[in-house]
Amino acid sequence: MLAIGVVGGGLAVVTLRNVIHSAIAMMICFGALAGMYALLGAPIIAAAQVLIYLGAISVLILFAIMLTQAGDANLPAPFHRQAPIALLIALVVVALVSWAAVTTNWHASADAVRVVVETLANALFTTYALPFEIIGFLILAAIIGAIFIARRPEEDERAG
Amino acid sequence: MVGLQGYLVVSAILFGIGAFGFMARRNAILMLISIELMLNSVNLSLVAFNAYIPAAHNAGAVFALIVMAVAAAEATVGLALVIAIIRTRQTPEVDEYHDLKE
């Protein structure tokens, strides 16, 4: 059921003509993914998915679309000329990865193991403390870069 | 089919959809959305591995959180770039950006 939501939402994202509709379909897809994370016994990841993707990135993308779309009176053709080749490549990738995933013996346990939030937090701040600091620095750099790129040139001159 | 392999197949299908959208769509913002779909599919496979393989010791969940943070940074910079380009070119269609070619 959730898989139908994920795959159907993803298909709607890439096939709908109107970009706003695609963004709404993306939110459906991300919501279904959050449900799958909860089903996999990782409620903290599901909460992060809802906060970051449904909350932040979706709103950011909707804002970008509304700032840039001139109007939906005459929508251009959504696909490139190379769409058939892209479809072929994507199908080959899906087939290969699915084949590898199904035929490999993963030594997996039968049931999903629940993620205990306390052990996850301990791992994040002890074993993985260096990656944690690095992504903090990366996000700082991304914020500064985004402000620098999106700034209008005339504000430069006004600032001196 | 339910179990680790079912989640991995869903993840592979979502990655394929994202790759197709990135290669085939003409709208720059939709290409960014497709990148988000691909990152999410990798996240799904990481969380599935984490849940079904006990030897992972929560590495998959930690990686998933880190991937989310990096995806947020990528979306921020990517959308800023797209808005800056659209402001100068007045169109979101990527095949009309050919300044570097001239």
CB–CB of B25/A80 below 8 Å?
yes
Touching check for A142 and chain B: CB below 8 Å? yes
Nearest to A14 by CA among B58, B1, B48, B31: B31
Q: Hey, what amino acid is at A113?
A: V
Lowest mean pLDDT among A33-42, A76-85, B23-32, B45-54: A76-85
Q: How confident is the model at residue B97 (pLDDT cuts 50, 70, 90)?
A: confident
Q: What is the pLDDT of residue A135?
A: 92
Under 8 Å between Cβ of A36 and A3: yes
- Residue A47 pLDDT > 80, yes or no? yes
Distance from B24 to chain A by nearest Cα, in Å?
5
Token pair for B3? 């179990």
The answer, yes or no, to whether residue B1 has pLDDT greater than 50, is: no
pLDDT tens figures, A119-148: 888 888 888 999 999 999 999 999 999 888
Average pLDDT of every residue of chain A: 83
CA distance A42 to A35: 10
SS3 state at B97? coil
Query: Does the distance separating the beta carbons of A106 and B26 come in below 8 Å?
Result: no
CA distance A134 to A131: 5
Q: Are B67 and A122 in contact (CB under 8 A)?
A: no
Pair A109, B54: CB distance under 8 Å: yes
pLDDT of residue B70: 92
Query: What is the SS3 assignment for B58?
Result: coil
Q: What is the pLDDT of residue A153?
A: 65
DSSP code per residue over chain A: -HHHHHHHHHHHHHH-SSHHHHHHHHHHHHHHHHHHHHHTT-HHHHHHHIIIIIIIIHHHHHHHHHHH---SSSPPPSB-TTHHHHHHHHHHHHHHHHHHHHHS-----SSPPPPPHHHHHHHHHTTTHHHHHHHHHHHHHHHHHHHHHHS-HHHHHHH-
Distance CA(A97)–CA(B73), nearest Å, equals 27
pLDDT at position A11 is 81
- Tokens standing for residue B77: 């910079």
Contact between residue A2 and residue A36 where contact means Cβ atoms under 8 Å apart? yes
Mean pLDDT of the region B38-50: 91
Of A50-59, B49-58, B60-69, the least confident:
B49-58
Cα angle at B98 between A64 and A61, to 5 degrees? Answer: 10
User: Which residues of chain B make contact with A109, given a CB cutoff of 8 A?
Assistant: 52-54
Contact of A149 with chain B, judged by CB distance below 8 Å, is answered with yes
- What pLDDT shows up at residue B42? 93
In sequence order, the 6+-apart residues with CB closer than 8 A to the CB of A88 are none
**For residues B81 and A149, is the Cβ–Cβ distance under 8 A?**
yes
User: A14-18, A83-87, A156-160, B17-21 — which one is most confidently predicted on average?
Assistant: B17-21
Q: Does A71 have pLDDT greater than 70?
A: no
Size of interface A-B (CB pairs under 8 A): 237
| Residue B4: pLDDT band with limits 50, 70, 90 | confident
Q: Which of B3, B25, B83 sits opposite A64 (nearest CB)?
A: B83
